[in-house]
Amino acid sequence: MKITKITVQKKNKSRYNVYVDCGHGEEFGFAIDEDVYIKFGIEKGMELSAKEISELQSEDEVRKGFNQAVNYLSYRMRSCQEIVEYLKKKEVPTSAIEAIMKRLQELKYIDDLEFAKMFIRSKVTTSQKGPKALEQELKLKGVSEAIIEKAILVYPQDQQIESATKLAKKKAKQNQKLSEIAAKQKIGQLLKQKGFSWTIIEQAIEKASLQKDEQEEREALDIQAQKAHRKYRKFSGWEYKQKMKQQLYRKGFSIELIDEWLNETEISDQ
């Protein structure tokens, strides 16, 4: 097979179309990347065997995939698994992917440890998530447990407490209508869902100063009692009081405050 003509592609100046003559006149043979073109010293008049063409095309697949991976990395760092999945979607052959990943690692374009550290720092700033949630997200991105264990050290305990405390204070404003106990429980559950340990949660709740004074607790009780009354207004006497007590006690209010509210508050049945 003899190369008869080489032209630059119109839409991609870094790729070349190679025309060949296999004994039946000139025809399009294959396209290659500029780096492959230079590496193999392709020129007009060169004779190529089927094996050499196969090597050219394999190298070209690697080069194309490498360029796609670098472009994908230009937006932000990626985990190794993210790169592999991206190349698969681009229908890059498995054999080429292996060579591409090796080249990217040699050039230090990918590094799961550095990626994990960057990912954690970014998420701490933007999402106030706890370490357990971040560890889970990294696992989904294919980062190994050993690497995650090293990377999570960039999120020390004092910073975890700071993040959890800030979130607790924010949520406290949204739960002012609840009893102190109910508010703490709800905020604690939220922090747990966010990936913080109970040790961190307890310290954060304490630092956030979520305690209510007596007046604040009474105001919260009045709000919840009004709601409970609307639910149980069809009852009367002892039955009404029992249902009110049970409901408000479950909401975290003390029996003393509940009895006081029931004795002092007159609610119209209208």
pLDDT band at 131 (very low <50, low <70, confident <90, very high): very high
Q: What is the value of pTM for the model shown?
A: 0.74
> What one-letter code names the amino acid at 244?
M
* Total length of the chain: 270
Question: With 50 as the cut, is the pLDDT of residue 270 above it?
Answer: no
The neighbour count for residue 139, using CB atoms within 10 Å, is: 12
**Cα–Cα dist 151/153, whole Å:** 5
Closest-CA residue to 154 (of 181, 124, 191, 112): 124
pLDDT tens, residue by residue, 55-84: 888 899 999 999 999 999 999 999 999 999
Both structure tokens of 71? 């472009």
209: left (phi over 0), alpha (psi -120 to 50) or beta: left
DSSP 3-state assignment of 269? coil
pLDDT tens, residue by residue, 87-110: 999 999 998 999 999 999 999 999
CA distance readout (Å), 149 to 77, 120, 136, 155, 160: 19, 12, 12, 11, 16
Both structure tokens of 65? 């995939």
pLDDT tens, residue by residue, 171-211: 888 888 888 899 999 999 999 999 999 999 999 999 988 78
- Quote the pLDDT of residue 184: 92
Question: With 70 as the cut, is the pLDDT of residue 137 above it?
Answer: yes
**CA angle at 142 for the pair 94 and 152, rounded to the nearest 5°:** 150
- Domains of the chain are 2-106 (1.10.10.10), 112-154 (1.10.10), 156-211 (1.10.10), 214-270 (1.10.10)
In the Cβ-directed half-sphere of 192, how many Cα atoms lie within 13 Å? 9
Across all residues in the chain, what is the average pLDDT?
Answer: 90
66 burial type by CB count under 10 A (0-12 exposed, 13-18 middle, 19+ buried): buried
Q: What kind and span of H or E run contains 244?
A: helix 237-250
- Quote the pLDDT of residue 267: 57
Closest-CA residue to 224 (of 251, 257, 262, 259): 251
Judge contact between 191 and 183, C-beta under 8 A: no
Among residues of the chain, what percentage have pLDDT more than 90? Answer: 50
Contacts of 132 (CB under 8 A, 6+ apart): 195, 196, 197
Question: With 60 as the cut, is the pLDDT of residue 20 above it?
Answer: yes
Of residues 267 and 116, more confidence is placed in: 116
Closest-CA residue to 164 (of 198, 117, 137): 198
Question: With 50 as the cut, is the pLDDT of residue 269 above it?
Answer: no
- Quote the pLDDT of residue 85: 96
- Quote the pLDDT of residue 68: 94
